[in-house]
């Protein structure tokens, strides 16, 4: 268990361009810079990154997020390697290494497999210069892929690692009131169901309802969770230090 680990979940909408689903390099540069700054300050970070399916869409000449399972899995097979290639190149500039971990729900359900995942993650984190980057193993995980829920995966990983904080970076600024203003702090997650606006973009997967479900799992495990904008990853430092940005849910 580490009190210090910060899990950062990044949604497809942040990493890919809405027009064509290709990887948004500028967004990746901003994100990697902010995560690297945290790492170099000694904050152990684990990323849960979506974007594999989205990043593969252009190779299969599709004009949107695919509906059928074979196409989604084919896109993920292409896109996951593109994604890791991009992360590896960018993190290298900060002399940091990346490690790819692809998981299915079954891996976290079996005690034995869960222990192996946990030990491997702790070994990687302990090295101090490696950022584990986790995604669902989309080419084999049919059920997970269909419900496409890396929000839940990030909550389960946070619980597995006994993380201090889970930050979900997405295309929204946080939990919004009907007038568009962001709720800064939520102490009772059940009280906010009315605020949920579940719209999301062409290349975004989970909406706010799926996020809140995942937040609930993290809070139950005693993990503070923040939903914030992935377009402003420079706020990560503030968020990790307990400052205001996005919506903070306290257990």
**Residues 6 or more apart whose Cβ sits within 8 Å of residue 92:** none
**Binding of residue 104 to ligand GLU (CB under 6 A):** no
Q: Is 235 annotated as a binding residue?
A: no
Which candidate, 97, 87, 6, places its Cα nearest to that of 43?
Answer: 6
DSSP 174: S
Q: Which of 24, 136, 173, 224 binds ligand GLU (CB under 6 A)?
A: 136
Q: Is 138 annotated as a binding residue?
A: yes
**Binding of residue 21 to ligand GLU (CB under 6 A):** no
**Binding of residue 224 to ligand GLU (CB under 6 A):** no
**Binding of residue 230 to ligand GLU (CB under 6 A):** no
Q: Is 27 annotated as a binding residue?
A: no
Question: Smaller CB distance to ligand GLU: residue 150 or 247?
Answer: 150
**Binding of residue 13 to ligand GLU (CB under 6 A):** no
Residues 33-62 that bind ligand GLU (CB under 6 A): 50-54
Q: Give the whole-angstrom CA distance, residue 251 versus residue 247.
A: 13
Q: Which of 44, 174, 206, 246 binds ligand GLU (CB under 6 A)?
A: 206
- In the three-class reduction of DSSP (H, G, I as helix; E, B as strand; rest coil), residue 173 is classed as coil
Which candidate, 52, 33, 75, places its Cα nearest to that of 150?
Answer: 52
Which candidate, 217, 213, 220, places its Cα nearest to that of 198?
Answer: 213
Dihedral of CA 33/235/231/53: which sign? Answer: positive
Binding residues for ligand GLU (CB under 6 A): 11-12, 50-54, 76, 135-136, 138, 148-150, 205-206
């Amino acid at each position: 268990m580490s009190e210090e680990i910060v899990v950062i979940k990044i949604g497809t909408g942040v990493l890919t361009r809405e027009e064509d689903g290709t990887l948004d390099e500028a967004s990746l540069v901003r994100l990697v810079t902010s995560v690297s700054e945290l790492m170099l300050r000694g904050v152990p970070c684990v990323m849960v990154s979506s974007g594999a399916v989205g990043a593969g869409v252009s190779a299969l000449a599709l004009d949107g997020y695919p509906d059928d399972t074979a196409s989604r899995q084919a896109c993920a097979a292409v896109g996951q390697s593109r994604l890791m290639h991009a992360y590896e190149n960018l993190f290298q500039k900060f002399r940091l290494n990346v490690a790819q971990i692809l998981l299915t729900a079954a891996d976290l359900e079996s005690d034995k497999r869960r222990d192996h995942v946990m030990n491997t993650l702790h070994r990687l984190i302990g090295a101090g210069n490696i950022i584990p980057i986790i995604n669902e193993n989309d080419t084999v995980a049919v059920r997970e892929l269909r419900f496409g829920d890396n929000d839940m995966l990030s909550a389960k990983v946070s619980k597995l690692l006994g993380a201090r904080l889970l930050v979900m970076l997405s295309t929204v600024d946080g939990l919004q009131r009907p007038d568009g203003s962001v709720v800064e702090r939520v102490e009772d997650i059940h009280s906010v169901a009315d605020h949920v606006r579940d719209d999301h973009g062409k290349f975004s997967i989970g909406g706010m309802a799926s996020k809140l479900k995942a937040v609930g799992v993290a809070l139950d495990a005693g993990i503070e969770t923040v939903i914030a904008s992935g377009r402003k990853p420079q706020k990560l430092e503030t968020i990790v230090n307990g400052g205001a940005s996005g919506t903070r849910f306290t257990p």
